[in-house]
């Protein structure tokens, strides 16, 4: 029986086409997720929590698994001078979700800005966290933008 949570209920209610995948419930990186799902690593997107200089809600940067968030590009896309990467514990505290289960779809209506890396535009479907460890959701990048009222921007660079 597939996992059902607030994210899958939201997608069902809005009649958004998606596929849910169950994975081991431990914290998995995007590359490990890609291996388990047998999909290209570039199609598995991770959600990075980023904080702004001024006390505003954090930003959710959704970037391809093999990449890293480019803080300068992200700051420019947001019209900010600087943005910062919080610790994993701070990210969990800011979102109320466990690292490995942070999803823009689980944080709708919580005031987070969502920026999805431009590279997603070239893909038919991307994989993102389903809002809890062990749940992966594949959906169209445009559906993610529409649901989160996010936008696309060039915010990542190849990882080391």
CA–CA dist 61, 113 (Å, integer): 8
What integer pLDDT is reported at residue 29 of this predicted model?
Answer: 86
Asked whether residue 143 is assigned to any structural domain, the reply reads yes
Asked whether residue 76 is assigned to any structural domain, the reply reads yes
The answer to whether residue 56 scores a pLDDT higher than 80 is: no
CA–CA dist 160, 149 (Å, integer): 31
What percent of the chain has a predicted confidence (pLDDT) above 70? 98
- For 75-100, the pLDDT digits (tens) are 999 999 999 999 999 999 999 999 88
Least confident of 15-19, 44-48, 53-57: 53-57
**Into how many domains does the chain fold?**
1
Give kind and range of the element (H or E) at residue 47.
strand 45-52
What integer pLDDT is reported at residue 160 of this predicted model?
Answer: 64
Asked whether residue 51 is assigned to any structural domain, the reply reads yes
Asked whether residue 1 is assigned to any structural domain, the reply reads no
Domain ranges, residue 39: 6-158
* Alpha-carbon torsion angle 75, 76, 81, 82, nearest 10: 20
pLDDT band for 1, please (50, 70, 90 cuts): low
State the DSSP string of 94-154.
HHSS-TT---GGGGTTTT-EEEEEGGGGG-S-EEEE-SSTTEEEEE-HHHHHHHHT-EEE-
What integer pLDDT is reported at residue 2 of this predicted model?
Answer: 66
- The CATH number for 104's domain is 3.90.960.10
The answer to whether residue 59 scores a pLDDT higher than 60 is: yes
């Amino acid at each position: 029986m597939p996992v059902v949570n607030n994210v899958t209920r939201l997608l069902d209610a809005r009649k958004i086409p998606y596929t849910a995948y169950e994975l081991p419930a431990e914290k998995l990186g995007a590359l490990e997720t890609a291996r388990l799902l047998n999909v290209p690593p570039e199609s598995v997107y991770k959600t990075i929590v980023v904080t702004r200089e001024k006390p505003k809600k954090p930003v959710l940067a959704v970037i391809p698994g093999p990449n890293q968030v480019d803080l300068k590009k992200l700051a420019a896309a947001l019209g900010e001078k600087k943005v910062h990467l919080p610790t994993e514990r701070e990210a969990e505290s800011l979102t109320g979700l466990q690292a490995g289960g942070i999803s823009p779809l689980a944080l709708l209506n919580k005031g987070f800005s969502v920026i999805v890396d431009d590279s997603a535009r070239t893909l038919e479907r991307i994989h993102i966290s389903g809002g809890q460890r062990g749940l992966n959701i594949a959906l169209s990048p445009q559906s993610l933008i529409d649901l989160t009222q996010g936008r696309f921007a060039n915010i990542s660079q190849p990882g080391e």
